[in-house]
Structure 1
Amino acid sequence: MRMVQIEQIFPSLTWRIRHETMYPDQPFDIVKLKDDFDGIHFGLYLDHQLTGVVSLFQDGDIYQFRKLAVLPSAQKMGLGSQLMDYILDFCKIQKATKLWCNARVNAKEFYFKFGFHETDKTFFKDGNDFVVMEKELSS
């Protein structure tokens, strides 16, 4: 049985996972967000190895998550889903009313599973099509 732990981590710990997963052919600095040090970052450790990350940013009672990433070698094991469940629980504890993200269009189905819906806001960035997706959270 593999051991999974999720805990809050320092922002810079997210960068390697984001880079290897999302932008392996881009310069390393592309994964650093200007507001990283204002966010709340979670790391998923698989057998004590940092394997997945997600970052949360708060604006009043609305939260945005960014850069949900699981290392390619560990994908399709449900780890991304465990991170999503974790931040959804976290947001409920914080009395958030909404959670949203800029989803890669090719990842929409993943977010539908968690009750997110598409908005009409779409954009193209860094070679990817995105759609803003959100989920209302009952307080």
Structure 2
Amino acid sequence: MEIKKISKEKTWNLRHTVMWPNKELDYIKLDQDDSGIHYGLFEKGRLISVVSLFIENEDAQFRKFATLQSEQGKGFGSKLLNHVVEEAKRVGIKRIWCNARLNKSSFYKKFGLQESEHKFQKGGLDYVIMERLLDV
């Protein structure tokens, strides 16, 4: 297993396949992709999981976190998310957060993220903003 920084373009197909397969590819592209740090987890050279980190001052948001459905539940996503949290700490980030699909919030709680009171809908799905203060 290897985790490394990748180009935004390398995230797009996996994002699309996992998150919004019924939408056009452009739906998963972010206007902010150019300013993000994109990470990929590879197993035997195959891209398994991706996440993008967007830093603003001492806050960082991770977005478009996706793991191939056939590889979910095997710990790959957890390893990638732990790596991103450690990278955020390393560069002095004090708060990390995400827009979590409500049905996935229990996954993020395992990483110390807590649900805020901010909930919303997008694309017919329910979301909650989850955050964690980091010890730096």
State the TM-score bracket (shorter-chain normalisation): over 0.9
Q: Could you say which residue in structure 2 is the equivalent of 1:54?
A: 51
Q: State how 1:52-91 maps to structure 2 within 5 Å.
A: 52-91=49-88
Q: What letter corresponds to residue 21 of structure 2 in structure 1?
A: P
Q: Which secondary structure state, in structure 1, belongs to the residue aligned with residue 80 of structure 2?
A: helix
Secondary structure in 2 aligned to 1:44? strand
Aligned counterparts of 2:25 and 2:61: Cα–Cα separation in 1:
23
Match of 1:101 among 93, 98, 101: 98
Equivalent of residue 28 in structure 2, options 13, 28, 31: 31
Aligned length: 136
Q: TM-score, normalised by structure 2?
A: 0.98
Stretches of structure 2 lacking an aligned partner (at least 5 in a row): none
Distance (whole Å) between structure 2 residues aligned to residue 17 and residue 126 of structure 1: 18
- Aligned counterpart for 2:41 among listed residues 34, 40, 44: 44
Within the candidate set 92, 98, 123, 1:126 is matched to 123
- Counterpart Cα distance in 2 of 1:5 and 1:26: 30
Cα displacement string for residues 36-76 of structure 1 (whole angstroms, at most 9, x for unaligned residues):
01000000101111111000001101100001100111111
- Alpha-carbon offset, residue 78 of structure 1: 0.7
4+ runs deviating over 4 angstroms? none
Superposition TM-score, scaled by structure 1 size: 0.96
**Percent identity for Structure 1 against Structure 2:** 41
Structure 2 residue identity aligned to 1:128: L
SS at 2:42's partner residue? strand
**Which consecutive residues of structure 1, in runs of 5 or more, have no partner in the other structure?**
none
